[in-house]
Structure 1
Amino acid sequence: MFFEQKQNESEMKKMNIKKDNIKKDQVSFFEALFRNNHEIMLLINPDTMKIEDCNQSACLFYGLTYEEMITLKISHFNCINEDLLKKEVKYAKDGHKNKFYFKHRLANGEIRDVEVHSSPVQVNGRDYLLSIVHDNSELEADNKLLKKENRFLEKRVSERTYELEELNRQLVTAKADLERELIFIDALFESIPGYLYVYDEMGRLIKWNKKHEEMTGYSSAELSQMTMDKWYEGEDLIRVLAAVDEVFKTGYGEVEAHLITKNGEKLLIRSNGVVMTLKGKKYLTGIGIDVAERRRLEAELANESKLLETTLVSVGDGVISCDQNGDVLFINRVAQELTGWSKSEAMGKSIEEVFHIVNDQSHKKTGNIVQDVLRTKEIKELETDSLLIAKDGTERSIEDSAAPIMEENGDVLGVVLVFRDFTEKKQKLEQIEYLSYHDQLTGLYNRRFYEEELLRMDTPENLPLSLVMGDVNGLKLVNDSFGHVMGDKLLIKTAQIMKTACRSEDVVARLGGDEFMILLPKTNANEAKKLVKRIEKLTENEMVGTVAVSISFGFETKNSSNVDIQQIFKKAEDYMYRRKLTESLGMRNKTVGMIISTLFEKNKREMCHSERVGQLTEAIAEKLGMDCKSTEDLKTAGLMHDIGKIGVSDSILNKAEMLDQREWKEIRRHPEVGYRILSSANEFAEIADHILAHHERWDGSGYPKGLKGEEISLEARIIAIADAYDAMTKMRIHMEDLTIEEAIKEINRCSGTQFDPEIAQVFIEMILENS
């Protein structure tokens, strides 16, 4: 345990002011550190346990989106006793850093063992709990963290050479017997400033340092008779015993209490304790510092704290130490698992035999990293394509670094290797690299790869170099009509056709949207033209749903090194757009026909409604004395007035109950969708405006534009009456249809508000004449 005395209120107030100023200066730094950190970070409200914020690493680990994460409490992931989670929050709320072990359930149901480091933080004047989650199930960490740890270790070697050298000598030469371990503990206790102790499970003090005797005033003989309850009384004793119980449960604890010295003086100390196991027995060991010591040792304690933190973070890495001759002196548990060598087998063996590294591609032995470190006295890292061959032949990709163990005079005593299993991370990096050069939808190369490959291919050796540019006809129309899922299927089918038609050495890429590009090295114009014909032949009978696959192509060939490749690209693009002007129009006209057919096939009620509206609009046009062409166009517009409903789901079109606000909003989009569909095809462009306005009202309260009076086209006003009449008498789902007399009465009532009063009168007369 570490002990430190509370400062008086005025000192604390000054420190808080200073901390507030620092926080204000470092807001942007904290934000960047939080967002970009590879560690899994959560910002938690300590009162509600709600996750207020998280970084991208947290979303990837738990398998949830950012929006999902910030709706949850941290207890959502917790699979063990809630009391442990409450203790973690309590420690943080009391202003203490802490570490706990949990089992967290991910979004896919997988249970992970995690180590959670929590600290209280203040952001924008509010208190939060910052939790850093380490995945102990994976036994790997970030390469960036490893480099940071190595840089820190290098710095620590130079700053605290004597202490680290003594520690390393003790570690690498330690044997399994208790006597040597206790010698090491004695040396460690005396080398670290502060009041140190070791208690057994019965609460008896069995080890201490000189500082312990000096601070408490007890002699060595007296201390050997002391138990933990002799140092504290009252609430302090209760608090200390609770902390001790917590240490033996979780492995770590922290407490503040008044320690009573031999002369009766009370020292307010802070103690941090951990559990140490020797020969199957557990011991409580820690360090405490009083106020007087704190000021003098503040800088040194900060360094010791960093060392402890770094050591804890590095627990999941393999560590092997060797001497100047390259013989193994120390190997930790993780290193034993990764190499397949037990401690007894590895001790004294050559590092090259235990740490057997080969090249990932050639399987040939790589250079000796230990000898490189001994020669240069610098930290070295393995190449990223290194494989560790375990004793049983198992191969693992690893990350590795080696650092020298230095004496004060600069001599190298040995080398320490720190490494980890890199296999899964390497696979993820390869996947990321693949995605960085490939289009996620089609699997073709993306624009980035195309641009880099174009630069690489633009050499005399690849001449003639042909560029073929393709553009999918009618993609926007398909997206507007059938939705983006259908549009994506059209793009995927296009990519498959182009890939099938090309050679293995050709580069087929999707530049974005509906544009594709093919790079053809050592291909003349005639061969490029044959490729285009081959692709066009493959698309002749290809359909995606009811939509035919149609691609407009343009191509150009570079025959001379003096020609700028961007000029070739521009010519291919211009040629493609010239062809698209003619090819795309025919494609759009066909697609519009398919759209109306699809709508009528999936909803017979809409088909009958559209046919009746077409007949009514024709009859009104004849009644008004319109010419034959206008009458025929108006009939067509009436037939197609609801074509935009192709984008409305069947569940809404056929819903028997009243529609809710969201469903009405989707229905009200159909005039705009219909307009976009029809305006894209020359054959129907003239009636598109009438379709857009057929739900406008005479008084200006309609949609989508809120047109009023004669701002609405005559044709749209006619369609509005015909559509409303048929809907009232033949299309009412939520209630019974109106009779002809009731419908006429309703149209007469809405004359001058919803309908053009003159057309309404003509329509009523026409209906009465035919009744």
Structure 2
Amino acid sequence: MDDQKAGPIKDKESFFEELFRYNQEIMLLINPDTLKIEDCNRSACLFYGKTHDEMMTYKITYFNCLSEDQLKKEVERAKKRERNQFYFKHRCFNAEIKDVEVRSSPVSLDGRNYLLSIVTDISGLQLDSDALRKENTVLEKRVAERTYALKELNDQLISAKAELEREMLFIKALFESIPGYLYVYDDTGRLIKWNKKHEEMTGYSAAELASMTLDQWFEGDDLARVMAAVDDVFKNGYGEVDANLITKSGKKLLIRSNGVVMTLDGKKYFTGVGIDITASRRLEAELAKESKLLETTLVSVGDGVISCDKDGYVLFINRVAEDLTGWTKIDALGKPIETVFNIINDLNREKAGNIVAEIIKTKEIRELDNHTLLIARDGSERAIEDSAAPIIEENGDVLGVVLVFRDYTEKKQKLDQIEYLSYHDQLTGLYNRRFYEEELRRIDTPENLPLSLIMGDVNGLKLVNDSFGHVMGDQLLKKAAATITRACRAEDVVARLGGDEFVVLLPKTNQIEAEEVIARIEELAKSEIVGTVELSISFGFETKVDKEQDIQLIFKRAEDYMYRRKLTESLGMRNKTVGMVIETLFDKYQKEMFHSERVSRLSAEVGNKIGLNTKDSHDLQTAGLMHDIGKIGIAEGILDKSEKLSEQDWLEIRRHPEIGYRILSSANEFAEIADHILEHHERWDGSGYPNGLKGEEISLEARIIAIADAYDAMTRMRLHMDDLTVEEAIEEINRCSGTQFDPEIARVFIDMIKDEN
């Protein structure tokens, strides 16, 4: 600065001392090795709430929130001039924590190295609109305080001219080490004093700066704001303004400048420090944009989002959360989180604990229990799944908690349904084999002894399926399941193992009590009928009385007992069912009854003609009567269809020999004639159905029934054309002899018919 013009200031040492002591900037002189505060100005005392003597007893670590090791690293960077601008949190007056910008530069005084730090309170930059209004009030108060201080400073500057040479050198070094650009303008607006930073920032040389005035740095609205701020300074003693300063290269820098009025020798000077806030303002804009983007994202996501502070008061709620909770954003903000996010346990209906306190304590992400219900503002309930996470600052402090949740109702219903289906039989609604096996392991304990196990098997299910179709068979199983359940106790476990088998687990039930349960089931079953079929179930049971007994052996004994009973009970049931099947067929299709009776008579007469014994003749007569029993399984509407049958209809009708075979072969009484029923549509030349048998591969009885069936059909059963006369039918049988019919049987049958007519 020696090569710069001193201007009208007469006492340089006094000038620089006053500039340090009473500058509105917070200034600290720090020993970089010990971190001790060696000196400070009046603004620092006001900011930190300490007297000058008290300040001299502290290290800077007392005020800085960083640890001493961290702070030493930053001081080392400032010493090496690697960085001169820092952002910290400082403990200030009344223990308030504030965000500050610190601009530090190394200085040398009397052969000792110091660090000159200028501290700027920037906490106001992060306030929201409400906070800014409060901050303005504080700033107004500060301005008033500073105006008063400046007035005092103006009086004190006159009496503080006599300073030591050492302090003058210190002030000169201080002047050059200020991180911002320092300026002093006289009352005409001419720049009369500046520091090296001023030259570096603006790009002008010392000679060029010496001829510049205040209005040359700004233009347009920026100039107007600056000049208005200068007027305020001269009126009130202090002012601050942000404006775009134009450098020598034409580049614009956003500068924050604060100035005061200084009076020396009766003259007023406008002095202050300006700092480049272009980068920080850009950072503010980017942070604001990022914040807006984040808020838009949270508002738009498909999940509900609620955030709260560390005390549990709601700070943010998005649209989905509004819909799920019933709370609008306006009503929710500032409310306790447990009021807006009211959750209970679905199982015990108890209110959930304080999730926010737990997250703040553990600092860990946590998912809520699967059985969580959200109680909306209108009292409605919905299952939710969610997670809660802490909002953590860089220093590790927890600022609050964010909750993310979604409606789980539909998903829960599907999962419940899947769980239900995984343990229940879909047809009967009873427990299935999987549940039975798991429950058996659970219930097989000494506490449940005696433990009885009942096995049940529905009689005639296959016969019903073959005769009446699986729909009736399913109805029979449902009726059996309902009957067994109705006869059992609430604590008993009833399950369908598959097919026609059922099992009942009876804990704490002895043999006599198990027999009583079976008796109740059998009594109820007597009154149950599905269609024309009576419900019949064969039961077996066994009781475990000793914990050493193998439960699987108990199961096997119950099953064996059931099968022994089924051998006798099922035979009678099947024989009875066959009778009901033929009765049902004849009731449904009366023409079939008359047709079957005629075929039965004609077949028996042929048997007598060829010399069959009494038993075989009786069996042939029975087979003739039941030759079309399989038609009970033909689809509705085909047998009495008025229009011509389609190819698909004929394919359906051609199934009846196999259906009839399955029905009769399952009943012991009719098993011997089942083959005759299966083969009565086979042909002598092998072109028949269902198995393409030929010649004597076809049973004799089937060959006889085939001719009797064909003759009666031609003379009595033609649906879509006139019946044939006896002579025409005989001629047709004679024509088909050796191809469709056994030629010898055909000859006997024709002679018999001719004799009758």
TM-score, normalised with respect to structure 1: 0.59
CA deviation map 1:14-46 (0-9, x unaligned): xxxxxxxxxxxxxxxxxxxxxxxxxxxxxxxxx
1:397 Cα deviation (Å)?
2.3
- CA 1:650 to 1:608, structure 2 compared with 1: closer, same or farther past 3 Å? farther
Instruction: Determine helix, strand or coil for the equivalent of 2:482.
Output: helix
Q: Look up the SS of the partner of 1:651 in the other structure.
A: coil
Q: Which residue of 2 aligns with 1:492?
A: 478
Q: Deviations along 1:300-354, whole A, 9 cap, x unmatched? A: xxxx9xx99x959973321111233332221111212222222122222222232
Counterpart amino acid of 1:588?
A: R
Q: Does 1:736 align with 2:728?
A: no
Classify 1:503/1:314 alpha carbon distance in 2 versus 1 (closer, same or farther; 3 Å): farther
Matches within 5 A, 1:584-733: 584-733=570-719
Would you say the 8 A contact 1:469–1:572 is kept in 2? yes
1:524 aligns with: 510
Distance 1:313 1:556 in 2: 65
* Partners of 1:637 and 1:687 within 8 A in 2: yes
Residue 432 in structure 1 maps to residue 411 in structure 2: no
**Higher RCO structure (Cα 8 Å, ≥6 apart):** 1
SS of alignment partner, residue 320 of structure 1: strand
- Alignment match, 1:534: 520
Q: Secondary structure of the equivalent of 1:490?
A: helix
Give the alignment of 1:538-577 within 5 angstroms.
Answer: 538-577=524-563
Alpha-carbon separation, structure 2, partners of 1:590 and 1:174: 90
Contact kept? 1:173, 1:329, Cα under 8 Å: no
Kept in 2, the 8 Å contact 1:634–1:715? The answer is yes
Give the deviation of 1:733 after TM superposition.
0.3
Distance 1:394 1:752 in 2: 83
1:336 matched to 2:322: yes
For the Cα contact (< 8 Å) 1:173–1:330, is it kept in 2? no
| Correspondences of 1:189-200 after superposition (within 5 Å) | none
Report the Cα distance in structure 2 between the residues aligned to 1:444 and 1:374, rounded to whole angstroms.
48
The answer as to whether partners of 2:302 and 2:320 remain within 8 angstroms in 1 is: yes
Percent pairwise identity: 74
> Given the superposition, is the C-alpha separation of residues 543 and 391 from structure 1 closer, same or farther in structure 2, using an over 3 Å criterion?
closer
Q: Structure 1: how far apart are the matches of 2:540 and 2:127?
A: 74
Residues 299 and 318 of structure 2 are in contact (CA less than 8 Å); yes or no, is this contact kept in structure 1? no
1:505 counterpart residue number: 491
Q: SS where residue 682 of structure 2 aligns?
A: coil
* Residues 313/676 of structure 1: CA separation in 2 closer, same or farther (3 Å cut): farther
Instruction: Measure the CA separation in 1 of the matches of 2:582 and 2:129.
Output: 85
Change (3 A) 1:631 1:393: closer
Q: Is this contact kept in 2: 1:372–1:380, CA < 8 A? A: no
Alpha-carbon contact 2:428-2:478 (below 8 Å) kept: yes
| Structure-2 change in CA distance of 1:651 and 1:394 (3 Å) | closer
Cα distance in 2, alignment partners of residues 314 and 345 from structure 1: 20
**1:444 paired residue among 417, 427, 430:** 430
Q: 1:404 to 1:578 in 2, by over 3 A?
A: same
Deviation of 1:174 after TM superposition, in Å, equals 7.7
Instruction: Report the 3-state secondary structure (helix = DSSP H, G, I; strand = E; otherwise coil) of the residue aligned with 1:321.
Output: strand
SS in 2 for 1:316: coil
Taking the TM superposition and a 5 Å limit, the aligned residue runs for 1:380-399 are 380-399=366-385
Distance (whole Å) between structure 1 residues aligned to residue 677 and residue 127 of structure 2: 89
- What's the CA shift string for 1:564-592, capped at 9, x where partnerless? 10000000000000110111000000000
> Partner of 1:552: helix, strand, or coil?
strand
SS in 2 for 1:717: helix
RMSD value, Cα: 2.4
CA drift at 1:377: 2.8
Which of 464, 467, 470 is matched with 1:481 structurally? 467
Is the Cα–Cα contact under 8 Å of residues 431 and 494 in structure 2 kept in the other structure?
yes
- The residue aligned with 1:420 is 406
* Residue among 351, 359, 362 paired with 2:345: 359
Number of positions where the alignment pairs a residue of Structure 1 with one of Structure 2? 472
| 1:80 paired residue number | none
Which whole-Å deviations, capped at 9, do the CAs of 1:232-273 have from their partners, x for residues lacking one?
xxxxxxxxxxxxxxxxxxxxxxxxxxxxxxxxxxxxxxxxxx
CA contact (8 A) 2:457 2:539 kept: yes
Report the equivalent of 1:371: 357
Could you say what secondary structure the match of 2:593 adopts? helix
Q: Which runs of 5+ in 2 are unaligned?
A: 1-125, 131-289
Give runs of aligned pairs for residues 212-291 of structure 1, distance below 5 A: none
The whole-number CA distance in structure 2 between the counterparts of 1:348 and 1:313 is: 18
CA deviation after TM superposition for structure 1 residue 674, in Å: 0.4
| Alpha-carbon distance in 2 for matches of 1:469, 1:706 | 43
Q: Rg bigger for which structure?
A: 2
Does residue 488 of structure 2 align to residue 467 of structure 1? no
| Cα distance between partner residues in 2 of 1:404 and 1:625 | 101
CA positional deviation for 1:355: 1.5
**What is residue 319 of structure 1 aligned with on the other side?**
305
**Superposed displacement of residue 360, structure 1:** 2.4
Q: TM-score, normalised by structure 2?
A: 0.60
Cα pair 2:518 2:539 within 8 Å, conserved: yes
Which whole-Å CA distance do the structure 2 matches of 1:760 and 1:360 have between them? Answer: 81
Residue type of the alignment partner of 1:334: V
Q: What are the ranges of 5 or more consecutive residues in structure 1 without an aligned counterpart?
A: 1-171, 177-303
Distance in 1, Cα, partners of 2:548 & 2:617: 62
Cα deviation for residue 532 of structure 1 reads: 1.1
Q: Could you tell me how far apart the structure 1 residues matched to 2:463 and 2:492 are? A: 30
Relative distance call for 1:511 and 1:484 in structure 2 (3 A) is: same
Which letter maps to 1:625? G
Alpha-carbon distance in 1 for matches of 2:744, 2:615: 22
SS in structure 1 opposite 2:495? strand
With over 3 angstroms needed to count, the CA separation of the structure-2 counterparts of 1:379 and 1:653, relative to structure 1, is same
Instruction: Report the Cα distance in structure 1 between the residues aligned to 2:299 and 2:637, rounded to whole angstroms.
Output: 55
Q: C-alpha distance in 1, partners of 2:334/2:298?
A: 27
Q: How far apart are the structure 2 equivalents of 1:389 and 1:563?
A: 51
SS of 1:703's partner is coil
User: Does residue 745 of the first structure (1) align with residue 740 of the second (2)?
Assistant: no
Partner secondary structure for residue 609 of structure 1:
helix
**CA–CA distance in 2 between the matches of 1:726 and 1:398?**
73
Report the CA distance between 1:539 and its aligned residue. Answer: 1.7
The 1:683/1:394 distance shift into structure 2, 3 A limit, reads: closer
